[in-house]
Structure 1
């Protein structure tokens, strides 16, 4: 297990310049620290876990590495630009492997859909499933690209904290029918229900209900096609490890296994943090990469809030929870030759299952699964000849009435997942099981301080996106900034890395910071 050298704290003390404290060593926090360090700030990153990465961290058991959170890199240039801002080249530090195909989708009727970055191949996949939907699919690709340029390259890479910024883009939102859901937009372009699912499920990867999240998020289809889907050798945890190392090389410090209890204020300005043990650390500015809900409800619990009050947080809609089963299998590397790096197994329902997860708060008997088999690309995740798997099922978060009691349901649900894997994807896998680990919404709540045990913070509905989302520059106090999934532009690796880019546009240059 790789840990951060705490002697870097001494190196940080030697660097002059204003001091910035970053709460949380998730990818958004580390990217923020790199950006601030490049600007000339002396940075201290503080995290309660034992390794950097937050949701993108990993755990090791008996030679197996379990990557706990994100598994792919979809927009490599946001990382390249981050590295370039620090005077470095991403390729010198991170080995990204393009995946082909990106993933395979399977349905209960035995049909399959293989997603790739080759437009001609994708058109043929559509033609094979539903010949009458080819023209509609081509139109969908045009729609997706237009929303990429507006939603990601424009809105997603600049601050949306001023109301006038929102007002200025309302005509474009209207013209692009941002009020329509992702699923509704897909349904207008293709008639086959399997294709409607294949073109609309992507919001689930950032915590959104495809039947209610704004259709702006069809931009993900263009992201995949244009930039590919990549895997970082060593996993996202390796990216986090390198990012933490760069922070140290910039003269910053990364303090692990250290819990921030409260943000401190001097009048109306953030002035540092108090740790759980009572130590106080002064700062010229504070960046919270903790969940936005946790930041406002806990880290600012002793301070009156103007916008993000308990009432507003309680009335917000939150992303779903996740049940994730990580396990190793012994001697299986040559088994299941048709199971690639990523597989999506669909249950018999799509809309009904999503409604149970997001609206009804009900743990259904049926499920859809995302299966990650990194050992087909990265042998380092498992001992020779073995496999490592990550199987994810979206489930309700803990905030619903009569919520799921995971203490009692954990094992029963694992058995249901195992049955689906055994009968639909990995026959005989149970006979080869090695080490395993399970995360439920309970663990997401305790490990990541995630409100209601959510996987992705606040759900990215239209009235919870852009200006409506917690801002990168806090409305509640001067000198307080937010990064990560709960702020603008949102969840997912491109979103959290871009949140640091936006933050760097908002913080004062070090020479302007008054001590």
Structure 2
């Protein structure tokens, strides 16, 4: 087993004596962690097993089309802006974010449409059209959403929960906010119209949660969107990834692709580096895992005795749903289709039960249709459109044989879109790519192919999630969807902010402590 010095990797020099931090994985959480550690004086090496950075935000280039694998809904842009500020730069100089209006167009199974506008008055007009008796209830719900935002995001989103005492401090506020209720239950307290209940409660699905089970704390997403908008990046989400990599390289650190990590090396209870898939070893003072938290403990620490996140505990946890995503390019443009459309099927609660509990592939579906060329035509050849359509599906514990089921399921979705949304679609598609839960399991190393890590329920939130500062190994830290505060772009970037309070000052390692 040969050793590879970090100083031998691209972007570093043998004269660089800064303490060395390794970040495993180049998703948004890993890239944000690298920037924060670099700004504090660490020399950082980001190791990515794939041929390009991004993690879940990987980009597919095919037939002249650009397909963002995800995420494609950008909220709370200030969490990104802060990363540029740490580097003494302005995000606006590198990234062109465009505000969406409406945020989403929500289409019910009978064709009725609710436009979720950015303006409060416009949303209230939509509510008046559906159920004028719920106008006061909507205002009351948004106040409740703001209260959850003030506590769940502003106060707790970047706080390390390293002990039971840390959790005990926030219990009174969680009790006051009734965080034991589900998002759907909170919405239903104020809204009587069933369709409006669906419009206001679907948001947990954006972070892998079941609205009927996710803690009402996740209702904060409604206020987050209203306060800061929903945005899209020109050039696609991949443009943000490329800009973050540029920031890291500007700090004298490196992002190295085709460098899969097989094991986190531990000596005397401390992480001391990693072993790559090819057997090479890289030493480090600090290791940060942006890999799936279950995979981090079950595979990357398989040679290390563990007390809390044992294989049995990992297997016992509840995991988010997975996704089937069909990326396709058309030879014509569908000008009347917005950037973001949510297509709700005839069932809501029963479909979610099929996905999360029964773990069966239902005949019906609810979909998210993404048309980025509505905002940025450069993502497709002239006169063409880039799309993806996403369907929540059970994770791999379902036992679904996707080799057999994926194409028939895709065809059902295509037929539905052609009949109701995108006329003549089957004759317009000129580029096609499909991913299933197998992609999340194999390519992204997500436990059970869960698309968002552990399911966001109250008993798997804050202290109950895998900690940002590992409970098992010193000098090992976790960022990304599988740790606190959770999935979604603001969440994974905030997980990197938590590191500011738990990763030692690099001076500690300079002194040889």
Same fold (TM over 0.5): yes
1:478 counterpart SS class: coil
Deviations 1:141-184 (A, max 9, x none): 10011110100011102112221111011111111110000001
- The answer to whether the Cα contact below 8 Å between 1:15 and 1:251 also exists between their aligned partners in 2 is no
In the alignment, structure 1 residue 64 sits paired with structure 2 residue 69 = no
Aligned-partner Cα distance in 2 for 1:421–1:12: 54
Deviations 1:195-228 (A, max 9, x none): 0001110000100011001001111000110100
Aligned-partner Cα distance in 1 for 2:490–2:313: 27
1:157 counterpart SS class: coil
Moved over 4 A (4+): none
- Corresponding residue number in structure 2 for 1:428: 424
1:367 counterpart SS class: coil
2:67 counterpart SS class: strand
- The answer to whether the Cα contact below 8 Å between 1:12 and 1:248 also exists between their aligned partners in 2 is no
Aligned-partner Cα distance in 2 for 1:398–1:501: 31
- Corresponding residue number in structure 2 for 1:506: 502
Aligned-partner Cα distance in 2 for 1:82–1:499: 13
Aligned-partner Cα distance in 1 for 2:236–2:157: 25
In the alignment, structure 1 residue 356 sits paired with structure 2 residue 357 = no
Deviations 1:259-315 (A, max 9, x none): 100000111100000001110000001000000000000000011111101111111
Among 409, 412, 427, the residue aligned to 2:408: 412
Aligned-partner Cα distance in 1 for 2:193–2:10: 57
1:426 counterpart SS class: coil
2:329 counterpart SS class: strand
In the alignment, structure 1 residue 485 sits paired with structure 2 residue 481 = yes
Report deviation, 1:237: 1.2
- Corresponding residue number in structure 1 for 2:32: 31
In the alignment, structure 1 residue 185 sits paired with structure 2 residue 183 = no
Report deviation, 1:110: 2.2
Among 381, 385, 392, the residue aligned to 1:383: 381
1:263 counterpart SS class: strand
- TM-score with structure 2 length normalisation? 0.97
1:199 counterpart SS class: helix
2:46 counterpart SS class: strand
Aligned-partner Cα distance in 1 for 2:132–2:443: 47
Q: Flag the 1:512–1:384 CA change in 2: closer, same or farther, 3 A.
A: same
Q: Flag the 1:273–1:32 CA change in 2: closer, same or farther, 3 A.
A: same
2:403 counterpart SS class: helix
In the alignment, structure 1 residue 368 sits paired with structure 2 residue 345 = no
- Corresponding residue number in structure 1 for 2:4: none
- Corresponding residue number in structure 2 for 1:476: 472
Structure 1: 5+ residue stretches without partners? 1-5
Aligned residue runs from structure 1 range 299-318, under 5 A? 299-318=300-319
Aligned-partner Cα distance in 1 for 2:356–2:71: 21
Aligned-partner Cα distance in 1 for 2:241–2:288: 18
- Corresponding residue number in structure 1 for 2:233: 232
- The answer to whether the Cα contact below 8 Å between 2:11 and 2:253 also exists between their aligned partners in 1 is no
1:9 counterpart SS class: coil
- Corresponding residue number in structure 2 for 1:325: 326
- TM-score with structure 1 length normalisation? 0.96
Aligned-partner Cα distance in 2 for 1:73–1:7: 36
2:74 counterpart SS class: coil
Deviations 1:224-259 (A, max 9, x none): 101000001111111111111211111111110111
